[in-house]
Amino acid sequence: MPPNYSVSEENYIKSIHYLQQVNEAVSTSALAEHLNAKPASITEMLKKLQAKGLLLYNPYKTFRLSKEGNKVALIIIRRHRLWEFFLVDKLQFSWEEVHEVAEELEHVRSKKLIDKLDAFLSYPKFDPHGDPIPDANGKINIQQQLPLSRLPLNKQAVITAVQDQSSELLSFLSSLNIVIGTRLEIKRRLAFDNSLEIKCRNKQAVNISEQVAKAIQVNPL
């Protein structure tokens, strides 16, 4: 059976994975900052993770997860994002408040639980923030998805999903001829309310609120 890791070890692995996405290799101080701990504590854990084969590390140098470490990271991310999806989709949490609870749930170590949860949720591909959910083998869907609110100006994208807490939103959007699959780009971002002026192909530009923009998931082209 696969080894189990402590909550603390899991949090280190997750943070290292996160910092690697920005920076390839990670420094002790960056990780200390991210984990809200002192550098001395980080060093200690680095040695432990290396001894377990999860980390590639030489004293006084930067470090990164080993192949095995990355596999473990993806398992934890999978748990986290599936729980987030569950909380929003089934328990009616708003997507701002799920993170903290998912932070605890992600450490419940049962593969069977997570795989059954995945099935129960109909194998969702993205969590409520638009981040992709790794599958049972730790594979992540290459296609990236993000909320329309985070799409750069003038970058074309296709709508892939709409978080329809109320189905009101969906009907509002379809009245604007905005549906899943619609191609669009942002022409202007209004600073005072973060509303967006978006343009669909050859139609006239329309204005949508930040809230709506956050609920729309897009896939940049």
Partner DNA sequence: TAAATTTTTTAGGTTTGCCTAAAAATTAAT
Partner DNA sequence: ATTAATTTTTAGGCAAACCTAAAAAATTTA
Please, are residues 200 and 185 in contact by the beta-carbon 8 Å criterion?
no
Question: Is residue 76 close enough to count as binding its own copies by CB under 8 A?
Answer: no
Here the tokens at position 195 are 């509303």
Q: Judged by CB under 8 A, which stretch of 15-23, 98-106, 145-153, 208-216 contacts its own copies?
A: 98-106
- Find where tokens 């084969």 sit: 53
- The phi and psi torsions of 56 (rounded to 5 degrees) equal -100, 115
DSSP secondary structure string for all residues of 170-188: HHHHHHTT--TT-EEEEEE
**8 is a site residue for DNA (CB under 7 A):** yes
Number of residues that bind its own copies (CB under 8 A): 19
Instruction: Name the helix (H) or strand (E) containing 162.
Output: strand 157-162
One character per residue 31-50, x = contact with DNA (rule: CB under 7 A): -x---xxxxxxxxxxxxx--
- As a whole number of angstroms, the distance between CA 95 and CA 128 comes to 6
Q: Which of residues 47-86 bind DNA (CB under 7 A)?
A: 47-48, 57, 59-62
Note whether 108 binds its own copies by CB under 8 A.
yes
Would you count residue 4 as binding DNA (CB under 7 A)? no
Least distance to its own copies from the beta carbon of 127, Å? 17
Question: Strand pairing partners for 37?
Answer: none
Contact flag: residue 136 with its own copies (CB under 8 A): no
Partner from its own copies, DNA, none contacting 196, C-beta within 5 to 8 A by type: none
Told to check if 109 binds its own copies by CB under 8 A, we report: yes
Distant-in-sequence, close-in-space partners of 212: CB < 8 Å, separation ≥ 6: 169, 172, 173
71: Cβ contacts below 8 Å, ≥ 6 apart: 138
Partner that binds at residue 39, options DNA, its own copies, none, CB closer than 5 to 8 Å by kind: DNA
Residue with structure tokens 């709506």? 212
> Which stretches of the chain bind its own copies, using CB under 8 A?
87, 90-93, 97, 100-101, 104-105, 108-110, 112-113, 116-117, 119-120
> Which stretches of the chain bind DNA, using CB under 7 A?
6-9, 27-30, 32, 36-48, 57, 59-62
